[in-house]
Amino acid sequence: METAVWSRRRVKHLQEMSGAAGKTPGEAVITSMGSTGPPLVENPVFITDHLVSDGAQVTRPSIDPYREPIETYAFLAGGLIRLSLPLVVEERPGVSDAVVEALVRASYNMGVLAYLRRALPAGLERYAERVVVDAPHYEDGLGYAGVVVDYDSLWEHSALRRLECVKLLRIPTAVSHALLERCIAAGFGGVVIDETLPASRESPLELAVSDVDRAFKSIKEDGEPVRNRVSVVACSPRIRGSDDVFKLLGLGADCATLGEAMLVATGFREGRSPENMQELMENFILAVQKEIKLLAGAAGVSCVYTSIIGNRELFRAIRLEPSLRRRLGVKPAGVG
Partner 1 sequence: MSFLDELPTVKSGCGILGILRKRDAAKIRAQEALGSIECVRFRGSKLGAGFAAYNIDGDNSHYRIKVFVDGVETLETVKQMLAEYGVVLRRELGYDDSGASKLRSWAALADAPSREALTNAVARVNEALMQGEIRGRIYSWGRYVDVCKGVGYPEDVCVDFRLVERGVEADLWIAHTRQPTNSPGIYPIWSHPFAANEWAIAHNGDVSSYGANMEYLRYRGYTSFVGTDSEVMAYLLDHLTRVKGLAIEEAAEILCNPYEAEDSGMGRIIAHRGAPLDGPFSVVAGYCDGDDIYMLALADRSKFRPLVVGEDGERIYVASEEAEIRTLSSEARVWTVKPGGYLLASLKRGIIHSGREDYELFFRSYCTHQAPTHAIDAEGMGYAELNRRIREALNNGAREVHVKNVRGQRYLGVNIPAGSRLHIYGTPGNCLANFNKGAEIYVYGNAEDDVADAMYGGRVVIHGDARDVIAQAFQDGEIFVRGNVGNRAAIQMREFQDRKPFLIVGGRADDYLGEYMAGGVVMILGLDAMEHEDKPLVGKYVATGMVGGRIYIRGRVEQWRIGLHPPKTDTLQYLRGLVMEGLVDAETYEELSREKAITYSMLEQRLQPKALSRISKLFINKYFSPPRVEYRRLGDEDLALLGGRLRRFFAEFHLGEQLLQRLLESEFTVITPQRKH
* Positions that interact with partner 1 (CB under 8 A): 24, 26-27, 56, 58-61, 63-64, 66-69, 71, 73, 75, 78-79, 82, 84, 105, 108-111, 126-127, 214, 217-218, 225, 227-229, 282-283, 286, 290, 299-303, 305-314, 336
Residue closer to partner 1, measured from CB, 83 or 263 = 83
- From residue 79, alpha-carbon distances to 75, 83, 92, 121, 234 in Å are 5, 10, 27, 27, 18
How far is the CA of 87 from the CAs of 158, 192, 297, 311, in angstroms?
30, 12, 18, 18
Contact 63, 297 (CB under 8 A): yes
Q: Which amino acid is at 309?
A: I
Least distance from C-beta 153 to partner 1, angstroms?
29
Q: Shortest distance, CB of residue 28 to partner 1, whole angstroms?
A: 9
**Alpha carbons within 13 A on the beta-carbon side of 287:** 27
Q: Residue 215 CB, nearest distance to partner 1 (Å)?
A: 10
37 vs 300, which CB is nearer to partner 1?
300
Q: Which is nearer to partner 1, 251 or 264 (CB)?
A: 251
Query: What are the backbone angles phi and psi of residue 263, rounded to the nearest 5°?
Result: -70, -35
Q: What is the smallest separation between the CB atom of 51 and partner 1, expressed in angstroms?
A: 13
Residue whose CB is less far from partner 1, 111 or 143: 111
Identity of the residue, 79 or 136, whose beta carbon is nearer to partner 1 in the bound complex: 79
**Number of neighbours of residue 160 by Cβ within 10 angstroms:** 18
In whole angstroms, give the CA distance from residue 50 to residue 244: 11
In the complex, what is the shortest distance from the CB of residue 85 to partner 1, in angstroms, rounded to a whole number?
Answer: 9
301 conformational bin, left if phi > 0, alpha if psi -120 to 50, beta if neither: beta
